[in-house]
């Protein structure tokens, strides 16, 4: 894992001191709310419905056990004993008091964490594949790239007041688990087909929200050494030409869309050619220094299989089911990456109590080289567990209600906080997720349905990624009541797609039946081994629309 150097440490500490002073001036009345708001947002402090909210950055989703324990402590001491992991792999506390936030930031700085640039019109927390360094389909670990971007973009003077927020994601694998095509910039590490050199495919202009777009490839192959200069060229074109007159048209996706990919790309290349590359690109020694922190840990040389593991699996059907859904093969023989579901049936997706955080931290220390990952699907990962330890880990997770066997299945639902907490929300998200999880709780049925991603947002801003859910649910207000719009066919992977609306909005209580109808069409029409999303692609929307509209006619509460 990356460790702060003296510069990082000083930078974060100075920022805490600065914010402590700003809070003091706010409380004494020398700063008005209008003056203070942009300052607090730059430090991750929002005002939500019931309280302030603090959003803490978890860069590229990597956490140490020590950091997780500190989050548990903060949750207990300054919040209500729990936190919420988000689709940007951040952690949100829902109840901090403004006066306590400087102390919280000091506690974060003690473990090399902060809340800088988790809000505001700047480059946000950089995300990456949660199986970075572990995945078998990986060309290269994306985290050194993400860390380099984090350092470059932190308080970058030229890009601190962009037209709008800016999100970057990196993957080093063939299979995209970081949703790179729905980011302002998505980077895919790949090998050049002719030279075998490692470089980046650069994708720009993806994004969800009010105007969902899939990112466009603006550079098929960028040599690794040119990364920062090329990013700087993109940011300059955007900073100069992105619209500042209309916040709904201010994201880079709108610029790319309006001038076209080719023209955008041409302007970036022009700027890139003009830039003094060597003065912008990172010093190779610094790149090597960062990369060294992400070198593979000290694995033991183990056989590829474990007799104890196979015996436990054969003797315990519940364990076998969990292994089937929550385990990911590891590149190191004898190890596995395991997904800790934060989606127990009926619980708010992504929430973890301080006790649960400590259990995960303890397990990471004992069994996963002290490392934890946060996924954009609001789950946690222990990335380096020996096969022979899996049964013990599973039992301990079970005692903490963390052993739900549903990773990737229909009850592994992404949901934003929605109107239960969020001041921007137009409807609730979490109760919909809870009702759906309860409806589809039966493990046999979940297995039969297979991989199916439901993603729920409580407003058009799409924090719940509903556009790229196989089934997406968007909560809106219609004539004073909550109404839910269902989309179908979205995809968050390398085959990224925006879902299409199935029909009129539904009342909350009618959503589970509607989803049931959609699933029934799939089960009736699928071919052997065909996943839900493949089935939707093959047969098209029409059969699902018909079933959806039938269900819509039957219910009396449908909202037009």
Partner 1 sequence: MAAAKRPALPVILLANDLLDGDVVFAAGDANGLRWSRDPGAALVGDDDATADRLDAFAAAELGNQQVVDAYLVDVAIEDGVPVPRHYRERMKTTGPSIRRDLGKQAELPLAQAFLRA
- Site residues for partner 1 per CB under 8 A: 26-29, 32-33, 47-52, 80, 95-99, 348, 419-421, 423, 425, 428, 430-431, 434, 480-482
**Shorter beta-carbon distance to partner 1: residue 52 or 322:** 52
Spatial CA neighbour of 363 closest among 343, 382, 378: 382
Dig out the tokens for 116 from the structure.
Answer: 């800088």
Spatial CA neighbour of 219 closest among 173, 174, 282, 271: 271
Beta carbon of residue 485, minimum distance to partner 1 (angstroms, whole number): 17
**Shorter beta-carbon distance to partner 1: residue 40 or 467:** 40
Cα–Cα distance, 560 to 557 (Å, whole number): 9
Cα–Cα distance, 111 to 115 (Å, whole number): 12
Query: 439 phi and psi, to 5 degrees?
Result: -60, -40
**Shorter beta-carbon distance to partner 1: residue 177 or 428:** 428
Cα–Cα distance, 424 to 427 (Å, whole number): 9
Dig out the tokens for 190 from the structure.
Answer: 């790949």
**Shorter beta-carbon distance to partner 1: residue 47 or 302:** 47
Burial class of residue 283 in the structure, from the number of CB atoms within 10 Å of its CB (0-12 exposed, 13-18 middle, 19+ buried): exposed
Beta carbon of residue 51, minimum distance to partner 1 (angstroms, whole number): 4
Beta carbon of residue 49, minimum distance to partner 1 (angstroms, whole number): 5
Cα–Cα distance, 186 to 490 (Å, whole number): 18
**Shorter beta-carbon distance to partner 1: residue 291 or 347:** 347
CA dihedral 543, 548, 552, 554 (to 10 degrees): 70
**Shorter beta-carbon distance to partner 1: residue 1 or 49:** 49
Beta carbon of residue 52, minimum distance to partner 1 (angstroms, whole number): 4
User: In residues, how long is the chain?
Assistant: 560
- For residue 153, give the 3-state DSSP assignment: helix
Burial class of residue 416 in the structure, from the number of CB atoms within 10 Å of its CB (0-12 exposed, 13-18 middle, 19+ buried): buried
Cβ neighbors of 399 (< 8 A, separation 6 or more) are 359
Question: DSSP letter at 154?
Answer: T
**Shorter beta-carbon distance to partner 1: residue 28 or 196:** 28
| Beta pairing partners, 457 | 474
Dig out the tokens for 283 from the structure.
Answer: 């010093």
- For residues 205 and 216, the answer to whether their CB atoms sit within 8 Å is yes
Beta carbon of residue 142, minimum distance to partner 1 (angstroms, whole number): 34
Beta carbon of residue 205, minimum distance to partner 1 (angstroms, whole number): 33
**Shorter beta-carbon distance to partner 1: residue 421 or 522:** 421
Beta carbon of residue 47, minimum distance to partner 1 (angstroms, whole number): 6
Beta carbon of residue 80, minimum distance to partner 1 (angstroms, whole number): 6
**Shorter beta-carbon distance to partner 1: residue 24 or 315:** 24
Beta carbon of residue 373, minimum distance to partner 1 (angstroms, whole number): 26
Number of H helices, E strands in the chain: 19, 20
């Amino acid at each position: 894992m990356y460790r702060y150097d003296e510069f990082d440490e000083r930078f974060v500490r100075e920022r805490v001191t600065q914010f402590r002073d700003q809070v003091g001036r706010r409380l004494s009345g020398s700063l008005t709310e209008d003056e203070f708001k942009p300052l607090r947002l730059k430090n991750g402090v929002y005002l939500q419905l019931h309280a302030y909210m603090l959003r803490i950055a978890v860069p590229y989703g990597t956490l140490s056990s020590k950091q997780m324990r500190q989050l548990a402590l903060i949750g207990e001491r300054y919040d209500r004993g729990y936190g919420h992991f988000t689709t940007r792999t951040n952690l949100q506390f829902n109840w901090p008091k403004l006066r306590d936030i400087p102390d919280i930031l000091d506690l974060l700085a003690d473990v090399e964490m902060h809340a800088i640039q988790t809000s505001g019109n700047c480059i946000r927390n950089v995300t990456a594949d949660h199986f970075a360094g572990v995945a078998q389909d990986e060309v290269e670990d994306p985290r050194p790239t993400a860390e380099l971007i984090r350092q470059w973009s932190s308080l970058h003077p030229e890009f601190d007041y962009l037209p709008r927020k800016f999100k970057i994601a990196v993957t080093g694998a063939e299979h995209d688990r970081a949703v790179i095509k729905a980011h302002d910039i998505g980077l895919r590490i790949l090998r050049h087909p002719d030279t075998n050199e490692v470089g980046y495919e650069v994708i720009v202009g993806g994004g969800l929200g009010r105007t969902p777009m899939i990112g466009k490839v603006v550079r098929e192959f960028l040599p690794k050494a040119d990364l920062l200069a090329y990013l700087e060229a993109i940011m300059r074109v955007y900073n100069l030409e992105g619209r500042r007159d209309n916040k709904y048209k201010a994201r880079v996706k709108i610029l790319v869309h309006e001038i076209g990919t080719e023209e955008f790309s041409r302007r970036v290349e022009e700027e890139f050619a003009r830039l003094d590359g060597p003065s912008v690109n990172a010093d190779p020694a610094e790149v090597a220094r960062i990369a060294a922190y992400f070198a593979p840990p000290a694995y033991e040389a183990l056989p590829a299989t474990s007799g104890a593991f196979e015996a436990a699996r054969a003797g315990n059907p519940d364990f076998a089911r969990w292994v089937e859904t929550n385990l990911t093969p590891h590149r190191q023989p004898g190890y596995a990456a395991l997904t800790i579901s934060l989606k127990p049936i009926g619980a708010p997706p992504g929430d973890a109590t301080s006790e649960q955080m400590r259990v995960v931290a303890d397990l990471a220390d004992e069994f996963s080289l002290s490392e934890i990952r946060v996924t954009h699907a609001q789950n946690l990962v222990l990335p380096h567990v020996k096969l022979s330890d899996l049964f013990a880990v599973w039992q301990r997770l079970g005692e903490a209600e963390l052993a739900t066997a549903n990773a990737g299945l229909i009850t592994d639902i992404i949901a934003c906080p929605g109107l239960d907490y969020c001041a921007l929300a137009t409807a609730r998200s979490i109760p919909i997720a809870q009702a759906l999880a309860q409806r589809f709780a039966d493990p046999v049925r979940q297995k039969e349905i297979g991989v199916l991603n439901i993603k729920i947002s409580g407003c058009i801003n799409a924090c719940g990624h509903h556009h790229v859910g196989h089934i997406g649910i968007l909560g809106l207000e219609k004539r004073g009541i909550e109404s839910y719009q269902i989309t179908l066919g979205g995809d968050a992977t390398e085959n990224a797609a925006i879902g299409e609306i199935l029909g009129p909005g539904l009342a909350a209580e009618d959503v589970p039946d509607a989803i049931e109808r959609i699933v029934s069409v799939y089960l009736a029409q699928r071919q052997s081994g065909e996943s839900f999303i493949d089935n939707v692609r093959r047969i098209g929307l029409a059969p699902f629309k018909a079933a959806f509209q039938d269900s819509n006619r039957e219910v009396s509460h449908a909202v037009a």
